[in-house]
Structure formats: C-alpha cells, structure tokens
Amino acid sequence: MKISIFGLGYVGAVSVGCLAARGHQIVGVDVNPTKTAFIARGESPVIEAKIGDLIAKAVREGRLTGTTDGPAAVAVTDLAFVCVGTPSQQNGNLDLTYVRAVCEEIGSALKARKDFFVVVMRSTVLPGTTRDVVIPLLERASGKKAGVDFGVCFNPEFLREGTAVDDFFNPPKTVIGATDERSRKTLAGLYDGIDAPMIHTDIEIAEMVKYADNAWHALKVGFGNEMGAIAKALGIDGHKVMDIFCQDTKLNISPKYLKPGFSFGGSCLPKDLRALNYRARRLDLELPILTSVIPSNERHTSSGLRMIAEQGHRRIGVLGLSFKAGTDDLRESPMVNVVENLIGKGYDVRIFDRNVKLAGLMGSNKSYLLNHIPHIYNLVVDSIDAVMDHAETVVIGNNDPSHDEVFEKVKNGQVIVDFARIGNRTSDGGQYHGICW
C-alpha cells in the first residue's frame, strides 16, 4: 500500500521503517528538512535499536522517500498516518498546534482527490480530540465529509523506547477506532500477519486506552518504588519482595481489581493500607501513592452518594450490603457507609442482601454493623420484591447474580443506580445510572 507518514519524530521514524519493511511504499513527511535529509541518506532521524538498518534497507530498495511537501505526499498515497508531537502546555493540557497544522494540510490536499483516502491519527491525544478537532479541520479544509468522502481512524501506538521495533512487530494489542467500516478494514489490513489481538472499538475509547495504559505504567513504577522504599527502611530486599509479588498472575498481574466499580472494603485492604502507612510515617517516609489510596477510595464513595442524591428521591432501596457478593462480611463495606450517610440525611432506606442474615452475625462483623447502623433491624427486608415495592431509587451495591432480577421488576418512575455493572449495561441518563459507565 502507498502510505504517507506525517512527523518523523520517534513514532513516525519507527513507523516508516517498520511499514516499509512489511513491503509498503512509504513517504515520510516532516516540516524539518534535516529529518527528511536523514531519510534521503538512508539514515534514521532518531536513535532507536534496529530502526537504522530498516530505514537504510527501505531507501536502498526504493520503498521509502522523505519530503517536506505534505500535499505532494497525499497526492501519491492512499493513507496517511499523523505522528506529530502533542507536547504539554504549562497547565498540563496538550498543545495541538502540530496536529492542527497537519490536518489543515492534509485536508487541503484532499480537495483534489477523487478517490477515498484514509487519515489515521497515531499521535496521542485526549479523548474527543479526533471527533471534535481533527475531523472538523479535515472537513473544513477539504470541503468533504468524513466517513463518506474520506475516512478517519484512531490507532494508538504502544512503542517503548529502546524496544520500539520489536514492539511494532510484536505489539500487546492493535486497537482501531474508525469513522466507517471501509477505513477500519483498510487500516486493519496493514497489520495482517502480526500476532496480536485486533480490537475494533469507538474512536473515543481508542483514544482513552492509551492514557489508561500510560497512567497504569506510571502507577506501577511509583508503586514499585514506594514498596522498595519502605522495604529498605525495614532492612528488607525490595526486589525479592516484588519478585514474589510478580509471580502471582491470578490476582496481582492480572485483570482482577482493574474494572471500574465501587469502592473497596472488607477486613483486609483498608486495615493493611492504614498499617503500612502508619509504619511509613514512623520511619519518616513520604509515600504519596500509598497514602492517597484510602482518600481516593473515600472520594469514590462520596461520588456514589452524590449520584443517589441527584435522583431527587427520598425512598431508597439497597441491594447488597456486604463489601462484595458471596459473603456476609460487612466490615468496612462501602455500602454500610452509604446507608449510614443516607439515614443521617433523612432518607427512607430499605435493604436486602441474601447473604447477610442479621441473626447469624457475630463478633467484629456484628459490632461494626451495629456501630454504624444501630437501627439496621428496622431497615432490612426479606426479598428483592420488598425493596422494589418501597424504593423510588434502587441502589445495586454488589454484583450478586440475583440483582439482575431488578431489571425485570423496575417500574415506571423508578431509577436504578448501579455500583456493580449488573448485566454490562450503560447509563441512559434516565432510568439507569452506572457509577463509572
């Protein structure tokens, strides 16, 4: 395929070499003539393992050229990758100067195109940028309609400096968001033969995935460093601790606990975090990540309470009081906190949890509940139907399978606030509200 790649920085330079190595005809475009001169000489404009050899071979075999003339590149190619920089502004927002300039250049060049052309955003941009900035600029400059006369895709890159070539050919995943099926298929075809999950999704989700990845990687680095700091202060080898930690691929290095939902609770997580932070303070250590976890959790609980209050109802039904389904453990359950706050603000609450039998509670579990909700016996009912008969707003507190019955029983005027995403539903802005979806 004939491909133009706008921006010969780190991502663009790796892309021109790797795509040319896959047999495509590539035109590298950059406003900086020094970078295109590197390409003309068969040299890489960036320092990165293996890419120099790929570029040299591609130029030697006539599959890669460089130019500062963007419109000329669009004229001789069928698809353009946008790989320009999106640097930070002082306030943390992205500077889209280069993105805007390239989109206007490509859009103007599309005026003369009679056939379908695909523009692929590869630059990292905040969710909504492709839809709200890129597409309008292309449409305005070209006088054409996205998804009809030309296509737009968002295709995030997952390249690590130092291993970018290997990452290109062996990515963890390939993610494509597109305005239309024709563009989606065209772009997906470039990755034929690459052994990685191919994920087709909405443009905004594709944009957000890159930020989820990078935020998680940053958090992992910070977490590892903080665990190492407290381990060293205690005379423990932090690497040995984390070597064992990383062997757990069932819970630690896994999808567990990473899906958006409600706050954590139970007898372990809050208690152990508090103990670890207490010891860190005694050792005069500042651990900003670990000390922020519980406040973040509490803010999430507060967000849930606000969501309930925003429905404007006084009669509230709660399904699921324990901190997770399949247990009667109420210790530090965020739903106990929710109910306590609702009662304190004068709401009329009814509760059902098929795993919580008040007569069977004992010890610290019973003490915790009665300390927070002394009149709990007056609030608990014996069925989902009883909750539904009482409530104007129904709150789903955990993902017990029986809670799916709610959607068959809900009446006109009733609202569901879901903290557990029962049935993989999406907020509709009316009768159903999910806390993170």
pLDDT digits (tens, 9 = 90+) for 48-77: 999 999 999 999 999 999 999 999 999 999
Amino acid at 82: V
- Residue 370 pLDDT class (50, 70, 90 cuts): very high
- The string of pLDDT tens digits covering residues 69-125 is 999 999 999 999 999 999 999 999 999 999 999 999 999 999 999 999 999 999 999
Residues of the chain with pLDDT > 90, as a percent, come to: 95
131 pLDDT more than 90: yes
Cβ distance 344 to 336 under 8 Å? no
**Alpha helix (H) ranges present in 190-237?**
203-233
Tally of CA atoms within 13 A in the half-sphere of 279 that contains its CB: 14
Amino acid at 93: N
Cβ distance 267 to 336 under 8 Å? no
- 246 is annotated as an active-site residue: no
35 is in an annotated binding site: yes
Give the predicted TM-score (pTM) of the model: 0.91
259 is in an annotated binding site: yes
409 is in an annotated binding site: no
SS3 of residue 380 by DSSP: strand
For residues 194-213, average pLDDT: 98
Measured from the Cβ of residue 42, the count of other Cβ atoms closer than 10 Å reads 15
96 is in an annotated binding site: no
- Residue 253 pLDDT class (50, 70, 90 cuts): very high
- Residue 360 pLDDT class (50, 70, 90 cuts): confident
Cα 21 from Cα 58, distance rounded (Å): 7
168 is in an annotated binding site: no
424 pLDDT more than 90: no
- C-alpha distances (whole Å) from 389 to each of 254, 276, 340, 354, 384 are 40, 45, 21, 17, 9
Largest CA distance in the chain: 82
CATH 3.40.50.720 domain residues, the chain: 2-201, 298-434
- Residue 226: is it exposed, middle or buried by C-beta count within 10 angstroms (0-12/13-18/19+)? buried
What is the Cα Rg of the chain in Å?
Answer: 27
- The string of pLDDT tens digits covering residues 147-189 is 999 999 999 999 999 999 999 999 999 999 999 999 999 999 9
Q: What is the average pLDDT value for the chain, to the nearest integer?
A: 96
Cα 188 from Cα 178, distance rounded (Å): 10
210 is in an annotated binding site: yes
> What pLDDT score does 365 carry?
87
Amino acid at 291: T
Q: In what order do the strands lie in the sheet with 415-418?
A: 348-352, 315-319, 393-396, 415-418, 432-434
284 pLDDT more than 90: yes
- The string of pLDDT tens digits covering residues 311-341 is 999 999 999 999 999 999 899 999 999 999 9
CATH homologous superfamily for the domain 298-434: NAD(P)-binding Rossmann-like Domain (3.40.50.720)
Residue among 21, 55, 22 at smallest CA distance from 41 = 55
Cα 193 from Cα 61, distance rounded (Å): 22
Convert 296-318 into a string of H (helix), E (strand) and C (coil). Answer: HHHHHHHHHHHHHHCCCCCEEEE
> What pLDDT score does 65 carry?
98
60 is in an annotated binding site: no
Cα 25 from Cα 63, distance rounded (Å): 5
Residues of the chain with pLDDT > 70, as a percent, come to: 100
Cα 266 from Cα 312, distance rounded (Å): 30
429 pLDDT more than 90: no
9 pLDDT more than 90: yes
Cβ distance 313 to 281 under 8 Å? no
361 pLDDT more than 90: no
List, in order, residues 6 or more apart from 188 with CB less than 8 Å away: 174, 176, 198, 200
> What pLDDT score does 338 carry?
97
Cα 139 from Cα 147, distance rounded (Å): 10
Cα 259 from Cα 255, distance rounded (Å): 7
Residue among 173, 149, 166, 176 at smallest CA distance from 81 = 176
The single residue of 103, 246, 268, 436 carrying the catalytic annotation is 268
For residues 273-296, average pLDDT: 97
Amino acid at 295: P
Amino acid at 252: N
> What pLDDT score does 156 carry?
98
CATH homologous superfamily for the domain 2-201: NAD(P)-binding Rossmann-like Domain (3.40.50.720)
CA 188 distance to own-chain centroid: 21
86 is in an annotated binding site: yes
